[in-house]
Amino acid sequence: MEQILGHDINVRLHGDWRRYQEKEVRDTLANEAMRIWVAASEADVVGFVAARVADPERLIGEVFMLAVDPDHQGRGIGTALTQFATTWLSTCGMRV
């Protein structure tokens, strides 16, 4: 969207989403209730997924955040991370 609108207009309409996203990622990584898994290509992290048991009484789990480096998208990394997280939620007794 920024490429279409230009930086100044995009920030006026949508705020500084990069700063917001960075804060969300940091908060997610710091949250002890989250389980985080990463996908790596050699020594580089190319993606991650965060999941948690949101409501154990109602058997609700949540895949909270998923990201894949744009240079590695379209290779099934996001799908594999999602499947890994949902399998973990299932082993925790959550309905998937």
Report the alpha-carbon distance of residue 77 to residue 74 in Å, rounded.
8
**Cβ-contact 83, 49 below 8 angstroms:** no
CATH class of 33-96: alpha beta
- In tens digits, the chain (96 residues) has pLDDT values of 677 888 888 778 777 778 888 999 999 999 999 999 999 999 999 999 999 999 999 999 999 999 999 999 999 999 999 999 999 999 999 987
Where do the domains of the chain lie? Answer: 1-30, 33-96
pTM score, whole prediction = 0.79
Quickly count: other Cβ atoms within 10 Å of residue 64's Cβ. 18
Amino acid letter, 94: M
Burial class (CB in 10 A: 0-12, 13-18, 19+), 82: middle
Per the DSSP assignment, residues forming a β-bridge with 35 are 51
